[in-house]
Structure 1
Amino acid sequence: MESDRDPVTLGDLLRSRRARLSPAAVGLPPGVRRRTPGLRREEVAQLANLSPTYYAFLEQGRQVRPSAQVLDALAGALRLNAAERQYLDVLANGRPASAQPPRAPGRRAEAPVETISADVVDLVQRLDPHPTIVKGRRWDVLASNPAARELFTDWESRPPEDRNLVRWMFSGGEARRVYLDWEREARAMLGRFRLATAAHLNEPNIAALVAELQRDSAHVRRWWLEHDVVSIGSGVKLLRHPRLGPLEYSHVVLQVADRPQQTLVTYTPRTSGLTD
C-alpha cells in the first residue's frame, strides 16, 4: 500500500533550506553572477554527492524515492537540525504502509473519531493544581483540569470543534495575554504542530485546520511557507496567570502509551512571581 509521501512539500523544503545557506557557510567559493542568495542546485548536489539531475527531480516534486543514505546526505549538505531531518524523512517516506488504515481505491482516508481513556482523564484531574491538558492528533484539547482552564482558557465551555490548541494560539487575544513572548511561542508551536502532523496533512480534518489557520492568520500564512519545524519536548515557559501574574513554569510532555498520538502536558510554577 502506498505511504503518505509528500514529494511536492519535500521539494519546497529543499528549496527553502538551500536559499538559507551561503557558499561560505558550507566551504564553497562565492562564484560569480550569483543572482539569488543561497546555494545553487548543483552546489547542493555536489555537497550531497548526488547527480544534479536527480537533485533537480527532488526539488521539482517528482515521484522519486530517496534512500535513507540520500536523505542523510541531503541533511548534511543543507545543515538540517534533528527536527528538520525527521521532517525530511516524513515528507520522503510518509507513514509506513502497515500503519495506514485500509481505504477504498481512489478515496481519501477519513480520520477516526478521537477518544481518550477515562483513566487518562482521571490522571489529568488528579494533577490539579498543576495545569495539565491532553492534546490529540490534531492538537484538539481532549482533557483539561481546573488549573489549566484558569491559566489558559475554559476549554470545556467551548464547543468541541473550538477546542483546538493551535487555533486558540492564533485567534483572539487570550493567548497573547497568557504568553509573555507570544510571537516566539506561537512560532514554535506552529513548528511543533507541523512536525507532529506532517504525515497526516492529507487527512481532511487536518488539511481543513491548516487551511483555516492560513486564511485567518497573517502570521501562519508567512511562517507556514518557511517550513520551520521544532521537536516536541519539555522546557520552560513564561506565562501570565490571571490571578498570580507573570510566572515561570517548567512543563513536561508525556506520550500516552496506548494512544501515541495523544500527549499529556503538565506545568509546574518555578517561581513565586515575576515582574512584568
Structure 2
Amino acid sequence: MALLAGVSVSWYTWLEQGRDIKPSTAALQRLSKVFNLDSVEAAHLLALGARTARPVSMSGEVSSGLKLLVREMDPIPAYVRNSRLDILAWNDAIAALFVDYGSLQPDERNTLRLLFLYQPYRTLILDWESMARGMISTFRAARAQADDKAPFDSLVNELNDLSPEFRDWWPDTDVKGFDEGCKRLLHPKTGPIEFTYIALTPHGRPDLSLVTYIPRPADGESQS
C-alpha cells in the first residue's frame, strides 16, 4: 500500500497507528486513489485529515427564489435541507407525503431525527433500516466537513439517548452520498408507492440540497 501511494512504509505504518503525522493533501489524494474511494469517501478522508476544501455553512437561510421554486414544483414533492439534514423549506406535496412540517417545532424538522424518533416514518418507509443507515452515513460525512460540529453533536447526543438503533449504528465508519436513488413507501392513503429521489445543490450554496421525489410508474405503465 505504501508503494502504491508513493509514501514510505514507516510513514504509512504511523498513519495506520493514528500518530500525529499531519499528512498532506497530495498524500491523502494518492491514498484515496489506492483505496479506490468514491468522491464522498475521498472528501471524508480529506476532512479527517483537516484538509477540507470548503467549510460547511449552517446559516439556515433559504433565498426567497429557492422557496418559490419549491412551492411551484408542486405537485412534485420537494424540500430544501441543509447539511445537518434540517428541513428548511417544503411544499404541500411533500407535507402530504410524509408529515406536515409546519406542525412541528423547528428542531423537530430534521430528517435523521424524524427517521429515528417519529413513529409514522417507521411504518411509512419500507426498507426503513437501509434508509436510516444511509442517512447516518450522509450525516457522518457532512459532520466531518463542518467547521462547527456542535450542532451535529447535539443531535447525535439526543439520538444516542433516545434511539437504541442509532446508538448501535452511529459508531460505524461508513460514509456515503445520498444524492439519488429509490424510496419505497407504504402510504396510509395511496398504498405502496415508489419514488426516485434526487438531491441537487443550488449554485453558490454547497450547504443546501434541493430534494425532489418523482413518482415511479407502476409495472406495465409507460414512462413517457
Flag the 1:119–1:88 CA change in 2: closer, same or farther, 3 A. Answer: same
Flag the 1:112–1:184 CA change in 2: closer, same or farther, 3 A. Answer: closer
Q: In the alignment, is residue 158 of structure 1 matched against residue 115 of structure 2? A: no
- Structure 1 unmatched ranges of 5 or more: 1-43, 102-110
Alignment partners' CA distance in 1, 2:106 and 2:169: 27
The answer for the alignment partner of 1:89 in structure 2 is 46
Aligned runs of 1:126-205 on 2, under 5 Å?
126-200=72-146, 202-205=148-151
Structure having the higher Rg: 1
Alignment partners' CA distance in 2, 1:158 and 1:74: 44
- Structure 2 unmatched ranges of 5 or more: 220-224
Q: In the alignment, is residue 226 of structure 1 matched against residue 176 of structure 2? A: no
- SS of match in other structure, 2:60: coil
Quote how far apart the aligned CAs of 1:112 are.
5.7
The answer for the alignment partner of 2:182 in structure 1 is 236
Alignment partners' CA distance in 1, 2:46 and 2:113: 27
Alignment partners' CA distance in 1, 2:20 and 2:47: 15
Q: Deviations over 1:92-130 (max 9, x none)?
A: 13434xx569xxxxxxxxx76421112211111111111
The answer for the alignment partner of 2:65 in structure 1 is 119
The worse-fitting range, judged by mean Cα deviation, of 262-271 and 190-199 is: 190-199
The answer for the alignment partner of 1:19 in structure 2 is none
Equivalent pair of 1:125/1:144 in contact (CA under 8 Å): yes
The answer for the alignment partner of 1:265 in structure 2 is 211
Identity across aligned pairs (percent)?
36
Q: Which amino acid aligns with 1:258?
A: G
Equivalent pair of 2:40/2:176 in contact (CA under 8 Å): yes
Flag the 1:55–1:137 CA change in 2: closer, same or farther, 3 A. Answer: same
Alignment partners' CA distance in 2, 1:125 and 1:246: 25
Equivalent pair of 2:201/2:209 in contact (CA under 8 Å): yes
Equivalent pair of 2:101/2:109 in contact (CA under 8 Å): yes
Alignment partners' CA distance in 1, 2:17 and 2:148: 19
What TM-score does the superposition give when structure 2 sets the normalisation length? 0.85
Quote how far apart the aligned CAs of 1:201 are.
6.7
